[in-house]
Amino acid sequence: MNEKILVVEDERDIARMVEYNLKKEGYRPLVLHDGSFAAATAAKERPALILLDLMLPGLDGLEVCRRLKADTKTAAIPIIMLTAKGEESDKVLGLGLGADDYVTKPFSLKELLARVQAVLRRSAAAPAPAPEKLSAGDIELDAAKVTVKLKGAPLELTSKEFELLKALMAGGERVLTREELLEKAWGMDASLELETRTVDVHVGTLRRKLKKEGRRIVTVKNYGYRFEGGR
């Protein structure tokens, strides 16, 4: 619940009705009446779902769809097309471009909301993004296999140490605050209950296990940590 949904629809009445009902269901709709900035808005706002009308001023829905799927920031966001009768070929094209579903106008709100729920459920259950392998110096981390090797030999890490190392390496030299690291390794809510000092303790053990390579984890005073040679 509370998912952000981008609605791109130029027919004001439909847009208003959809917006109202999405709000009522507890979603956070964001409405655009024009296709021009739809892809850019999606990249910035990262909605959980996009309801995309096909016949739009500015940029038509198919082109918007194409752009969304071509941008890694938005490619994974599910799209439901809103099509009018007689737009059969567009519908097929849209699905070919990677749209997840479509509803034909005039649609009932019940039907639309059911589709919204189904697509959101599917995307929540979808597997995590492609496996990622990170390496720096003698360290090789495989995010998919959840393994770390040091000089080619398997390295035993606790799950927290593993998550911390992954976050640091993926950070690519960016300084990560203790709060950010808590959030990444312990989960969203943990940051409220755990003390940030917990991070320091785990970074300490992680550094020891990484031996010489532990020096890559650099303490940034009063701020957090940075991984040298990341990405």
- Can residue 10 be called a binding residue for Ca ion (CB under 5 A)? yes
Q: How many CA atoms lie within 13 A of 170 on its CB side?
A: 16
Specify the stretch interacting with Ca ion by CB under 5 A; choose among 3-11, 36-44, 134-142, 174-182.
3-11
What's the rounded Cα separation, in Å, for the pair 92 and 95?
5
What's the rounded Cα separation, in Å, for the pair 177 and 113?
39
Closest approach of Ca ion to the CB of residue 204, in Å: 58
Closest approach of Ca ion to the CB of residue 198, in Å: 52
Question: Closer to Ca ion at the Cβ: 19 or 53?
Answer: 53
Residue 176 is encoded by which pair of tokens? 């990560």
Number of residues that bind Ca ion (CB under 5 A): 3
- Can residue 87 be called a binding residue for Ca ion (CB under 5 A)? no
Closest approach of Ca ion to the CB of residue 55, in Å: 4
Q: Under a CB-based contact definition with an 8 Å cutoff, are residues 85 and 50 in contact?
A: no
Question: Closer to Ca ion at the Cβ: 14 or 42?
Answer: 14
Q: Which of residues 42-71 bind Ca ion (CB under 5 A)?
A: 53, 55
Closest approach of Ca ion to the CB of residue 20, in Å: 18
Specify the stretch interacting with Ca ion by CB under 5 A; choose among 7-15, 31-39, 64-72, 125-133.
7-15
CA angle, 202 as apex, 161 and 181 as ends, to 5°?
75
Question: Closer to Ca ion at the Cβ: 55 or 109?
Answer: 55
Q: Which residues contact 168 (CB under 8 A, 6 or more apart)?
A: 176, 181, 217, 225, 226, 227, 230
Closest approach of Ca ion to the CB of residue 71, in Å: 23
What's the rounded Cα separation, in Å, for the pair 56 and 52?
9
Specify the stretch interacting with Ca ion by CB under 5 A; choose among 9-17, 181-189, 193-201, 211-219.
9-17
Closest approach of Ca ion to the CB of residue 84, in Å: 7
Helices (H), 26-100: 38-45, 61-70, 88-96
Which residue's CB atom is positioned nearest to Ca ion? 55
What's the rounded Cα separation, in Å, for the pair 147 and 133?
10
For Ca ion, the binding residues (CB under 5 A) are 10, 53, 55
